[in-house]
Homo-oligomer: A and B are copies of this chain.
Amino acid sequence: MATLRDVAREAGVSVATASRAINGHSNVTAPTKAAVMAAVKKLNFVPHSGARSLTRRKTDTVGVILPDLFGEFFSEIIRGIDLVAHESGMHLLLGNMHGSTHETAAAIAAMRGRVDGLLVMPPDVKPELLSGYLDPVLPTVLLNYDAGTLDLPFVAVDNYRGAYAMTEALLARGARQVVHIAGPKHNRDARDRQRGFVDAMAKIAKISNPAILPGDFSEESGAQAGRLLVQGQLPVDAVFAANDQMAVGLIAQLAEAGKSVPGDVMVAGFDDIPLARHLNPSLSTMQVNIDRLGSTAMMMLLRILRGETLGATSATILTPTLIARGTTGGAAIVEVTGKAPVLGAQL
Partner of A94, one of B94, B334, B336: B94
**Which of A44-52, A308-316, A324-332 is near enough to bind chain B?**
A44-52
The reply to whether the CB of A249 lies closer than 8 angstroms to some CB of chain B is yes
Give the size of the chain A interface in residues (CB under 8 angstroms). 80
Partner of A347, one of B47, B157, B343: B157
Q: How far is the CB of A344 from chain B (nearest CB, A)?
A: 3
Contact A113 B71 (CB under 8 A): no
The reply to whether the CB of A196 lies closer than 8 angstroms to some CB of chain B is no
Known interface pairs A71-B274, A334-B252, A336-B252; A345-B217 also in contact (CB < 8 Å): yes
Contact B67 A71 (CB under 8 A): no
Q: SS class of chain A's interface: helix, strand, loop or mixed?
A: mixed
Given the complex, which residues of B lie within 8 Å of A76, measured CB to CB?
A: 71
The reply to whether the CB of A256 lies closer than 8 angstroms to some CB of chain B is yes
Given the complex, which residues of B lie within 8 Å of A1, measured CB to CB?
A: 113, 137
Residue among A96, A271, A340 with the most chain B CB within 10 A?
A96
Contact A345 B184 (CB under 8 A): yes
Known interface pairs A76-B71, A94-B91; A336-B50 also in contact (CB < 8 Å): no
Contact A342 B217 (CB under 8 A): yes
Contact A93 B96 (CB under 8 A): no
**Which of A29-37, A53-61, A199-207, A297-305 is near enough to bind chain B?**
A53-61
Known interface pairs A78-B74, A93-B61; A67-B344 also in contact (CB < 8 Å): yes
The reply to whether the CB of A245 lies closer than 8 angstroms to some CB of chain B is yes
Given contacts A74-B74, A74-B75, 14 further A-B contacts (CB under 8 A): A46-B112, A51-B54, A67-B344, A67-B345, A70-B75, A71-B75, A71-B343, A144-B347, A157-B347, A217-B346, A219-B340, A243-B346, A245-B346, A256-B336
Give 13 A-B contacts (CB < 8 Å), ordered by A residue: A50-B53, A68-B79, A70-B343, A71-B71, A71-B75, A71-B76, A71-B274, A72-B75, A144-B347, A184-B345, A189-B347, A220-B338, A278-B278
